Amino acid sequence: MVKELRQDLIRWFLLATLAFMLIGGKLALAAQSPEQIGAMLKAMRDPAGSPFFPVAMQILQVLTWALHMVFVWTSVGGLLYAIYGLTRKDENHKRLARAMIELSKVSVSLAIVLGVAPLLFYQVIYDPLWYTSANLSASWYIMFIVFLLIGYYLLWFAYFSRKKDSLATLFSIGSVIFLILVGFIIHVVNYQSLFPEKWVEWYTSGGTTMNHSGLNIYSFNILRFVSLLIFPSIAVTGVFMMLYSWYFGKRKDFEGDKEYIAFTSRLGAKLALYAGALWIVTHILYILTIPSDWNAKGSIFTILSIVGLLICAGIIFMAQKNPIQMAIPSLLGGVVATLTIAIFREYLRVASTARFGYSIYDYKVNLEWLSPALFLGTTLTGLLLYAYTWWMAYRAGSTPKGEVYHANEVESSLGNAAVFVVILWAVVFILTGFIIVIRNYA
């Protein structure tokens, strides 16, 4: 008797809870106003606040996202060309395709490492947007890691089988499919976060039920997707081909490969020009789809993003006559375009939430100097280490095949400094951990 009564009570409790959620969902939908949405966003902030000034994190987020995306673009673009090049009979295409597979392999690694920083900054100052959207499509977001691993492993298979055209093509196709799928998931999670006025409706299916499977995709913008991933990937890879020709064309052991070097530079310039034109067109079309209440279409940041792309396109247009000589100016033009796009993308977050009276600049700041100081020290350590590593890779790579590059006195000193700073950082990092543990248990 007691057991049956307990079961009845549990059953009635579940039914009452469900009814409350359904009624609450409908009332929430009916009562949503800009002020209430703004209050909701503010209530969802981390009560601990931000450990440093939000504007500093915003700037760092823009810079690190831009650097991260360069390697995302060369990952996807390198594979797209590799698939094309490996299916051609021309030996120049096949040789370049194999080089692009290697480019993609390295780029994915760098994209993963460099992608951590902008995500962390985003989570700190935009936590209501990020976590809500990630929960809406949580199952997809969890699969993001799985798809990335599959794409990465397939890329390694393509690299190891790159001398077998059909096998390398098959693995490259599989890899790029999964990498683009990863980009699709990140696009969805970021895009859904820009529409907080629809979150309750999405979560409750219009106030009828609770969606907690995380399997749904609620919002997708094809123009935003192709203008931030597909066409930039081809254009930036084209610029890399120009740089590839400029770099290796100066090596003595490439003197017999003048035709290949010229072929690569011309092809890269054409890819950068045509894909860059499509990038500009889709970017402008995406701007036209931005909701009018964001007041973003005619903003200075929107205009600057178009100007940045046009400047880059102008430089690449001039590079068609002499792609190798214009490789470095094209790189600088690409930097300008990437930064203006990164700023524009960040501005849209500000514009999409400003209509609800929400601003990251009002975020509670719980200033804590130890954490920012540790971050700054880690950043400086990383910059010194990467500067040394990349510089040595650059110098060693310019050495003809079969020869050994010997570092000069300045480079040796820089190497010693890099090792010393890394050891110092490790000591400070471990001591900081001990101090915090002792303080917490004192």
pLDDT tens, residue by residue, 264-307? 999 999 999 999 999 999 999 999 999 999 999 989 999 999 99
Please check whether residues 357 and 422 belong to one and the same domain: no
pTM of the model: 0.87
Task: Give the Cα separation of 76 and 82 in Å (integer).
Answer: 10
**Does 132 reside within a domain?**
yes
**Does 9 reside within a domain?**
no
Cβ partners under 8 Å of residue 228, min gap 6: 69, 187, 341, 345
Q: Which domain covers residue 38, as residue numbers?
A: 32-368
- pLDDT band at residue 442, thresholds of 50, 70 and 90? low
CB 272 within 8 A of CB 239: yes
pLDDT tens digits along 192-235: 999 999 998 898 877 777 877 888 899 999 999 999 999 999 99
Strand, helix or coil at 422?
Answer: helix
Please check whether residues 243 and 101 belong to one and the same domain: yes
CB 195 within 8 A of CB 128: no
User: Residues 177, 182, 188, 194: is their CA dihedral positive or negative?
Assistant: negative
Please check whether residues 54 and 193 belong to one and the same domain: yes
Q: Which of 125, 123, 121, 110 is nearest to 60 (CA)?
A: 121
Q: Which of 212, 190, 192 is nearest to 25 (CA)?
A: 212
- For the record, the structure tokens of 132 come out as 């809500």
Please check whether residues 132 and 212 belong to one and the same domain: yes
Please check whether residues 136 and 47 belong to one and the same domain: yes
pLDDT tens digits along 348-404: 999 999 999 999 998 888 887 777 787 888 888 888 888 888 888 888 888 887 778
CB 115 within 8 A of CB 62: no
Rg (C-alpha) for the chain, rounded Å, is: 26
Q: Which of 109, 115, 191 is nearest to 153 (CA)?
A: 109
Identity (one letter) of the amino acid at 63?
A: L
Which ranges of 249-324 does DSSP label H, i.e. alpha helix?
258-289, 300-318
* Domain termination site, one of 340, 368, 396: 368
**Does 13 reside within a domain?**
no
Please check whether residues 133 and 82 belong to one and the same domain: yes
CB 110 within 8 A of CB 390: no
